[in-house]
A and B are shown apart, each in its own frame.
Chain A
Amino acid sequence: MNMLPIEETVDALRAAFGDLPASEFRGTTRVVVPAEKIYDVLKLLKEKHQFDLLVDITCVDYLNYPGAKDRFGLVYLLAGTGANRRLTIRAFVNEPEPAVRSVVSLWKGANWLEREVWDMFGIQFEGHPDLRRILMPEEFAAFPLRKDYPLQGFGERHNFPVLKRGES
């Protein structure tokens, strides 16, 4: 198996998708890509650069963050198990309807990861086969990890019938 250095992968991404900002932190390279190209980038990385494992998908809400231009920062953590390489892909999306294309067709494991990001941040994954809440109750209306959601909630905890003695 040919072992590509991570720089060559970044160069290949730049050749295909334009000048993408990249940085390195503690030995891991991060590449920021436009949100509408996230599927194509990940497809290229999976099929041509041996990044066969999607470790995690998560999200950061940059509301009121100093110097932040975009609201939500998606994070895709990739690993190449053959060459033991890791790469972080980031994409930024904004309100009112933050959405990216789903990558379930590339990695089946993305199914629950994308459901969790939808559940907590309300980011739509277009083409996801079953985009439901995964952690919160189904009737839950808010996205609790958004920064504008209060820590103690909007009173969802209190919407239950009160059982008393003699009633049950």
Chain B
Amino acid sequence: MAVADLMDQVATTRLDELVSWCRKNSLWPMPFATACCGIELMAAGASRHDIARFGSEVFRFSPRQCDLMIVAGRVVMKMLPVLQRIWQQMPEPKWCISMGACASTGGVFDTYCVVQGIDRFIPVDMYVPGCPPRPEQLIQAVVDLQEKILREGTMFGKEFYIASRQQTKRALQEL
């Protein structure tokens, strides 16, 4: 084989980028669907909108097989320990999409029992506004998350450990 032919068959890249490219194209979502956003989540997975076009159609109901948690719907106080436990059961690297107004901010449910935004208690990568969001919006969030993974992803998950990024998260202390 001549050296000139070799150039057509070999691609050079960074290892981080190669790994991230693999990861981004097979996000396995964990549907944490508690309310009407869950219906739109199902619509996004069904034939009309078909999230499989973007490589994340493999919904798994075991957190141990997933790397993308989609929190769709309001989370009440009694459910939050469950949510945190499921998040901890997911293997690294993992990402989280907060779908809809209720998961992101509590929405209209500013009452004693509804958590005012899951990002106060677990890390969130992508927020989808809407009440509920259209399936296209969720798919856009997945596409944006894929871009984010490709842009900043590293083989050993260094991007998750940057202290400055941790501090920008809204934390309990600010309340």
Contacts and interface: CB of A to CB of B under 8 A. Distances in A.
Given A152-B111, A164-B123, A158 B161 contact: no
Interface residues of A, number: 21
A65 interface: no
Contacts of A152: 110-112
Contacts of B169: 164
Interface in B28-75: none
A106 B123 CA distance: 51
Interface residues of B, number: 25
A144 B120 CA distance: 23
Contacts of A136: 77-78, 113
B88 interface: yes
A82 B114 CA distance: 43
Interface of B: 77-78, 80-81, 84, 87-88, 110-116, 120-123, 160-161, 166, 169, 171-172, 175
28 contacts: A136-B77, A136-B78, A136-B113, A149-B112, A150-B112, A151-B112, A152-B111, A152-B112, A153-B112, A154-B112, A156-B77, A156-B112, A157-B113, A157-B114, A158-B172, A160-B81, A161-B84, A162-B171, A163-B84, A163-B121, A163-B122, A163-B123, A164-B123, A164-B169, A165-B160, A165-B161, A166-B161, A168-B87
Contact of B84 (A137, A149, A157, A160): A160
A157 B77 contact: yes
Interface of A: 136-137, 140, 144, 149-154, 156-158, 160-166, 168
A10 B78 CA distance: 44
Tell me whether chain A's interface is mostly helix, strand or loop, or mixed.
loop
A163 B88 contact: yes
Tell me whether chain B's interface is mostly helix, strand or loop, or mixed.
loop
A151 B114 CA distance: 11
A154 to B, nearest CB: 8
A137 B88 CA distance: 21
A168 to B, nearest CB: 4
B78 A137 contact: yes
Contacts of A168: 87-88
B111 A160 contact: no
A158 B173 CA distance: 10
B80 to A, nearest CB: 6
Contacts of B84: 160-161, 163
A140 B48 CA distance: 44
A157 B120 CA distance: 10
Which of A137, A140, A158, A168 gathers most chain B CB within 10 Å?
A168
The list of the 8 closest CB pairs from A to B, nearest first, reads A153-B112, A165-B160, A168-B88, A163-B122, A166-B161, A137-B78, A165-B123, A160-B121
A136 B80 CA distance: 13
Nearest to A149: B112
A168 B112 CA distance: 28
B77 A137 contact: yes
A97 B78 CA distance: 27
Which of B84, B113, B114, B166 gathers most chain A CB within 10 Å?
B113
